[in-house]
Amino acid sequence: MAKIDGGEMIVRALEREGVREIFTLHGGHLDAIYAACMRHDFRVIDTRHEQAAAHMADGWARTTGRPGVAIVTAGPGVTDAVTGVANAFMDSIPMVLIGGRSPLSDDDRLPLQAVDQMGIMRPITKWARSVTHTERIPEYVAAAFRHAVSGRPGPVFLELPIDVLFARVEESSVSFPEKYRPQSAPGPSRAALAQALEWLREAKRPAILAGGGVWFSQAGRELTEFAELTHTPVMTNSKARGSIPEDHDLCFGGFGAIHPAAHAKSGGSADLVILLGTRIGLFTGGRNSVIPSDARVVQVDIEPEEIGRNRDIELGVVSDCREFLRDAIDAVKGTRFEHREWLERLGAIRDAMRHRFDDALKSDSSPIHPARMAHEIAKLLDPDAIVVADGGETASWMSGAWTARHPGSFLSHGYLGCLGVGLPFAMAAKAAHPNRQVFCIIGDGSAGLNFAEFHTAAKNNLPITVVINNDKQWGMSKHGQELMWGKGRHMATELGMVHYERAAEGLGAHGELVERPDQIAPAMKRALGSGRAACVNIVTDPDVIEPGTLALYSAMSTRPRKQETAQEKQDEGTTLPYYGKRKLD
């Protein structure tokens, strides 16, 4: 009778889920899995830090809509992956982390690499289990995927003790689950849908705010069709970008387009807001929301507990976003909707946003204005490129310059605000879409967090082009300190000049240094055409403050303080005018 080990079971179970690639860093606790990967011809992408492997599994899901799989060794492998898992958890991203573990038979005898992994992983995963019987591995892998993708998605953790993983059992005693998922997703109740559509018919200024629930239910086509049928403007958060192409007439960029302040003088903001798979948190403006306080709000979410977080909701609809949109499309066909004046107003705001850096784009100054850098790069990329943005102000500059035309094509930070995701996300995107251009931009501070992954990209043949926005400082941090404390007063936020292009060359990448605006295009063309992982180190102006930082800290500095020192009073007087003048010159 043939025997198989736990590694073979893992790989066969992953194959059943359509997985053909894993992200990992070697550990002896995992060798049974690698041996099976060899037999099954899996693509094994090996990173230089387990954090990067976990971010890659997360990035894979963000760009494909399907869970990525990271496999890390017992003890430090699992603890190193914590940040990657937490990042996915905060953004409801489906991924599967498989962790090695010391032998069950050695528990409490101080074996190597033993730590309470379940205790560490439970608070940052949707579901976490330790497998104790080899024959049950396929059942647990199936359950891991079911938990990762069902309802609101999220990361899951599966722990495999080495004695369970390496044990060999009779193949005939092992069964692989075949049918372990629902075939359909839950739709809206008839009454809730009717109410939502009645309000849409009554609304003069409706708006749809779309989030990750739209992307992970693969509802981009339905979202676009519904918007077209009802002439309803759509705004997206980062995860949903491109679900409706951003060059579509009815797409108005981020949620800020309905900020009440932008409409105060011209007839008011939205009177009906339909939240589609987006949570109410900082990215909807938090408690100081972009959602007008007098608007009717319909919140559609697969997770009932999300409805009503941070704000009263007139109508909560528990539903998968695509099912909601499909039913809504059927129900509105033949009805006439018109919101011309509202759409024109939003269009004017969109145009103003598109042109707000026009002066900076013409600036030939060195160091380079970051807006010029971002817009120049955006013009050089393929329209269907995948763009990854990592860093404080850097991510915002690129976010504003890029037009996402497809879902899963713009990857950036979420609720963990986790710097360092850039290279791993970009590598995962390239592994998932080998025929698409993948571009990544990183702040010079953030670049340090996973810099060694240039080697991963080089040795695993992942030709991504990476720009380091080098303002020689932790820009958002230093600007924030100076806005609070006064020009020249900062701590732990200076970096100085670093030749990232040379360091990347040392790790096997193509390198370019850019110090003048006219060097951007030639250097980018050489990098994109090199066919290799490439690092373009662009030196930018450290004094230019991104408008988001300015708004954040200006708002903070006008907060009433209980007790103010003389120095603080003086800072408040001197700081803001300085930046006000310096801003975007």
Ligand X SMILES: Cc1ncc(C[n+]2csc(CCOP(=O)(O)OP(=O)(O)O)c2C)c(N)n1
- Whole-angstrom distance, CA of residue 121 vs CA of residue 79: 9
**Shortest approach of ligand X to residue 370 CB, angstroms?**
8
Residue 476 as a binder of ligand X (CB under 6 A): the answer is yes
Q: Which is nearer to ligand X, 292 or 475 (CB)?
A: 475
Q: How far is CA 422 from CA 392, 449, 465, in A?
A: 12, 10, 11
Residue 394 as a binder of ligand X (CB under 6 A): the answer is yes
Q: Report residue 53 as tokens.
A: 């492997």
Residue 541 as a binder of ligand X (CB under 6 A): the answer is no
Catalytic residue check, 17: no
Instruction: With beta carbons less than 8 A apart as the criterion, state whether 452 and 504 touch.
Output: no
What is the sign, positive or negative, of the torsion defined by CA atoms of 314, 318, 324, 330?
A: negative
Q: Which is nearer to ligand X, 203 or 388 (CB)?
A: 388
Catalytic residue check, 26: no
Q: Show contacts with ligand X in window 319-338 (CB under 6 A).
A: none
Q: If we measure between CA atoms, which residue out of 456, 419, 434, 416 comes closest to residue 93?
A: 416
**Shortest approach of ligand X to residue 296 CB, angstroms?**
35
Q: Which is nearer to ligand X, 75 or 392 (CB)?
A: 392
- Catalytic residue chosen out of the listed positions 51, 113, 117, 473: 113
- Using the contact rule CB under 6 A, the part of the chain among 99-107, 428-436, 438-446, 575-583 near ligand X is 438-446
Q: Which is nearer to ligand X, 148 or 504 (CB)?
A: 504
- Whole-angstrom distance, CA of residue 227 vs CA of residue 207: 9
Where do we find the tokens 């990209």?
A: 457
Instruction: With beta carbons less than 8 A apart as the criterion, state whether 146 and 180 touch.
Output: yes
How many residues line the site for ligand X (CB under 6 A)?
A: 18
Residue 391 as a binder of ligand X (CB under 6 A): the answer is yes
**Shortest approach of ligand X to residue 548 CB, angstroms?**
10
**Shortest approach of ligand X to residue 535 CB, angstroms?**
15
Q: Which is nearer to ligand X, 56 or 476 (CB)?
A: 476
Q: Which is nearer to ligand X, 543 or 568 (CB)?
A: 543
Residue 286 as a binder of ligand X (CB under 6 A): the answer is no
- Using the contact rule CB under 6 A, the part of the chain among 59-67, 127-135, 440-448, 521-529 near ligand X is 440-448
Q: If we measure between CA atoms, which residue out of 262, 242, 347 comes closest to residue 551?
A: 262
- Whole-angstrom distance, CA of residue 364 vs CA of residue 515: 11
Catalytic residue check, 417: yes
Binding ligand X (rule: CB under 6 A), the pick from 475, 486, 511, 517 is: 475
Residue 393 as a binder of ligand X (CB under 6 A): the answer is yes
Cα 216 to chain centroid distance, Å, stands at: 13
Backbone angles phi, psi at 156, to 5 degrees: -130, 160
Binding ligand X (rule: CB under 6 A), the pick from 188, 242, 292, 392 is: 392
What is the sign, positive or negative, of the torsion defined by CA atoms of 335, 340, 342, 343?
A: positive
Which residues are within 8 A (CB) of 17 and not within 5 positions of it... i.e. 6 or more apart?
A: 67, 141, 142, 145
Residue 84 as a binder of ligand X (CB under 6 A): the answer is no
**Shortest approach of ligand X to residue 75 CB, angstroms?**
22
- Using the contact rule CB under 6 A, the part of the chain among 33-41, 89-97, 417-425, 451-459 near ligand X is 417-425
463-531-64-101 Cα dihedral, nearest 10 degrees = -30
**Shortest approach of ligand X to residue 579 CB, angstroms?**
15
DSSP symbol at 481: H
**Shortest approach of ligand X to residue 223 CB, angstroms?**
30
Residue 8 as a binder of ligand X (CB under 6 A): the answer is no
- Catalytic residue chosen out of the listed positions 17, 27, 29, 511: 29
Residue 166 as a binder of ligand X (CB under 6 A): the answer is no
Catalytic residue check, 113: yes
Residue 50 as a binder of ligand X (CB under 6 A): the answer is no
- Using the contact rule CB under 6 A, the part of the chain among 57-65, 330-338, 411-419, 552-560 near ligand X is 411-419
What amino acid occupies position 167? A
Where do we find the tokens 């958890």?
A: 89
**Shortest approach of ligand X to residue 578 CB, angstroms?**
19
Residue 284 as a binder of ligand X (CB under 6 A): the answer is no
Which residues are within 8 A (CB) of 212 and not within 5 positions of it... i.e. 6 or more apart?
A: 91, 92, 93, 237, 239, 240, 277, 278
Helix (H, G, I), strand (E, B) or coil at 218: coil
**Shortest approach of ligand X to residue 477 CB, angstroms?**
4
Instruction: With beta carbons less than 8 A apart as the criterion, state whether 468 and 442 touch.
Output: yes
Strand partners, 161: 101
Strand partners, 23: 45, 70
Q: Show contacts with ligand X in window 442-471 (CB under 6 A).
A: 443-446, 469, 471
Q: Which H or E run includes 254? A: none
Residue 54 as a binder of ligand X (CB under 6 A): the answer is no
Helix (H, G, I), strand (E, B) or coil at 314: coil
Give the catalytic positions in this structure: 29, 50, 113, 417
Binding site for ligand X (CB under 6 A): 391-394, 417-420, 443-446, 469, 471, 474-477
